[in-house]
Amino acid sequence: MKTIVFLPITALAISLLIAVQVNSAPQSNFYGSNNNKSHDLVIGYRMPGDRLILRQSIIKNSSWGRIVTDERTFNTTRFERITQVRVLDQKTNGNGAYASILFGGPGWNNVTIRFKSQRGHGINFIVEVYSRP
């Protein structure tokens, strides 16, 4: 007799618990805050044996009310192929520039990158190029 009464009470308690969990709102900062709003560009993959062949800072000052652009070409030796290009925005507040690859990249022995700032802001990136023979 006790198990017949206990079974429906247990089922009701479990269903209420599930309903409360499903309908409850997420806690604040449950997903974490998005503090890093940089515009990084990472193309390709690194594997064991790849080596860093270039690490260069790209900095251009802002011009009041204007958009600043810059194009740079980075080369490897003719016997190496690029495996990964990392273009890391150093402005993490969302005001950083944008980078795009115009030519080359992984599988090539050179890469041309275009940097374009937001209006009234400058360019501040670190470019890393990895390759393998």
The C-alpha atoms of residue 91 and residue 8 are separated, in whole angstroms, by 59
Residue closest to 99 by CA, chosen among 130, 68, 120, 62: 68
Instruction: Tell me: pLDDT of 25 over 90.
Output: no
pTM of this structure: 0.70
Round the CA-based radius of gyration of the chain to a whole number and report it.
26
Res. 104 pLDDT band, cuts 50 70 90: very high
Residues 73-92, mean pLDDT to the nearest whole number = 94
